Chain A
Amino acid sequence: MEPIVVKNLTKTFNGFKAVDSINFTVKKGEIFGLLGPNGAGKTTTIKMLVTLLKPSSGEAKVAGYDVVKQPNMVRKNIGIVFQEPTLDLELTAKENLDFHARLYGLNKKRREERIKEVLKLVDLYDKANLQVKKFSGGMQRRLEIARGLLHFPKVLFLDEPTLGLDAQTRRKIWDYIIEMKEREDVTIILTTHYIEEADKLCDRVAIIDKGKIIALDDPENLKKMVGEDVVSLTVNDPERLIDELALEEIRKIVRIEDRLELSVVKGEIMIPRMVEIAQKVGVEVKSVSLRKPTLEDVFIHLTGREIREESGKNAFWRR
């Protein structure tokens, strides 16, 4: 049995399709990522899967249960870490976990053992009796992840697990998530708009844009869609240069403002040729860079836009 099966799932808000007939299946034990810009429909999808929102049409099964017909069975079998914090700041870390364990009906013995276990997993055991309001953002996040795991869920949902955290804390959270996947018998589905996060953590990634899944594969295969190398050229007249660069070796060109993103096979050989062409037609090249494709390039390749353009704006105040 697959932990998550989604069929033609749709959510409409006042005529606007936030999620538009998406299909995917998450395999047991994997980390599955939903990657896309803010407003792409990731969180709406998650909210339907965790029974907080009713789908407009389509169906979804989580841990074998229908999210509309058996919401309580779904809830028993999932753990959730929301985008915004959901801890009681007045309570201690341990009390927050105890509260959760009792809500999920764990008995006393199991409760005590398990609280200790998950606190150790996220390195907060020595902070167990500290009020959560004294925790840093990263510590709160870790505690929430521990709490999500507390009641032995079959599926764990992480909605933007590192939103608003600094880079160093973000990496630490990733380590915890990877460790968790190795040690616990749990399937993880996460949403993110951080490219690196999807790439480092996920076994498979669904790229979602405007309510639709536009690609779904493991990160390596997704990147192969773009090609071997990506050359980025910033120039003063991009339109002019596009016309001139109709070379066989250039698989695809995407223009973002005054920048051209080119998918090529041997970037280091292509760069001098492209610069030469630009000079010949009188286009000024301001900067050049060469890189291996990232999931960002996959998104650009598919949509002609960047994921990042609208991300991160709200990041610092959320957490």
Chain B
Amino acid sequence: MELQGIYILWLRDLKRYIRARSRIIGSLGMPIFFLAFFGMGFRRVEIPSLPQNITYIDFLAPGIVSMVVLFTSTFSGISIVWDRQFGFLREIMVAPISRTTISLGRNLGGATTALIQGLIMIALSFLIGFKPSINGLLFAFVFMFLIAVAFTGIGIAISTFMHDIHGFQIVINFFVFPIFLLSGALFPISELPKFVATLALFDPLTYGVDGMRWAMIGYSEFNPLYDLAALLIFCVTIVFVSAALFSKMEVE
């Protein structure tokens, strides 16, 4: 195995992440405001399917953490398009390592940065008044990791079709946002009309959000093992699919 290759690709992603401090802060802005203002605004709203003892901010926080992981990981996957634009992709592609290795290295790198962003978001949500189960955070970490790997893979897969960064806005507005809004991050999916609720079952993030919520506040709409299985299957499939697409990609 070309572990050295995977390691250095991972390390590069991490170094780039740490150096882009303004991006770290910038990308956390929106989720923090979401959490703070939705938390305040819907503080007294009663959601019929939600047990009385769960406050809206406790319900919302795992969803917002998932959102951070979703956005960061998808973006890291798509950042291959930037590498193509700036030429660096070629340096990687002519190296004597397999495309699968490259894809895996990028996947792990992107997932790691998304995990770190997610952890920062958890820490910040404490400040806004979120009180999760501390023991549960370990399980939450597992769900976060799976979301991160899966959506970095999705980003990589998308990047193989995108030849410049112009399509980026389309991906955000017509793919990433619907995934987020459908996932039950902001409200229980049982509140949705039947048809839309069915659609939500095909959104992999639904299981991530539900699993995270179970781990952090003990409430979930599905059996957490079911969440775990669904997310795991999705994750493994995407890793393979993205590696296969990446291998086929032409770089001149």
Contacts and interface: CB of A to CB of B under 8 A. Distances in A.
Partners in one complex: yes
A53 B90 CA distance: 12
A88 interface: yes
A47 B4 contact: no
Contacts of A51: 94
Nearest to B83: A88
Contacts of A84: 87
A49 B36 CA distance: 57
Contact of A86 (B12, B91, B252): B91
Interface stretch (B13-21, B50-58, B108-116): B13-21
Given A52-B93, A52-B94, A75-B95, A82 B87 contact: yes
B20 A90 contact: yes
A102 B91 CA distance: 12
A91 B15 contact: yes
Interface string B1-23: 01011011000100110011000
B86 to A, nearest CB: 7
A167 interface: no
Given A72-B96, A103-B95, A105-B4, A90 B90 contact: no
B88 interface: yes
Contact of A104 (B19, B89, B93, B95): B95
A99 B94 contact: no
B225 interface: no
A50 B95 CA distance: 10
Nearest to A74: B96
A53 B94 CA distance: 11
A89 interface: yes
B91 A100 contact: yes
A82 B90 contact: yes
A181 B86 CA distance: 29
Contact of A90 (B8, B15, B87, B91): B15
A84 B88 CA distance: 10
Interface string A48-91: 00111100000000000000000011011000101011111111
A52 B249 CA distance: 11
B97 interface: yes
B228 interface: no
A73, A85, A88: most-surrounded residue (chain B CB, <10 A): A88
Interface string B103-126: 000000000000000000000000
Contact of A87 (B20, B88, B251, B252): B88
A181 to B, nearest CB: 22
A223 to B, nearest CB: 34
Contacts of A306: none
B92 interface: yes
A88 B88 contact: yes
Contacts of B12: 88, 91, 95, 99
B94 A75 contact: yes
A88 B86 CA distance: 8
Contacts of A85: 86-87
Given A50-B94, A52-B94, A103 B88 contact: no
Contacts of A100: 91, 95
Contact of B8 (A86, A87, A103): A103
Contacts of B2: 105
Interface in A102-125: 102-105
Nearest to A157: B94
Contact of B97 (A52, A86, A95, A103): A103
Contact of B4 (A53, A91, A95, A102): A102
Contacts of B97: 103
A102 B94 contact: no
A75 B102 CA distance: 15
Interface in B23-65: none
Contacts of A75: 94-96
A95 B238 CA distance: 30
A143 to B, nearest CB: 12
16 contacts: A50-B94, A75-B95, A80-B94, A84-B87, A86-B90, A87-B87, A87-B88, A88-B16, A88-B91, A95-B12, A99-B8, A99-B12, A100-B91, A103-B95, A104-B96, A105-B4
Given A87-B91, A100-B95, A104-B95, 6 more contacts: A85-B87, A86-B91, A91-B16, A95-B12, A102-B4, A103-B92
| A-B pairs, 3 with minimum CB distance | A102-B8, A103-B95, A75-B96
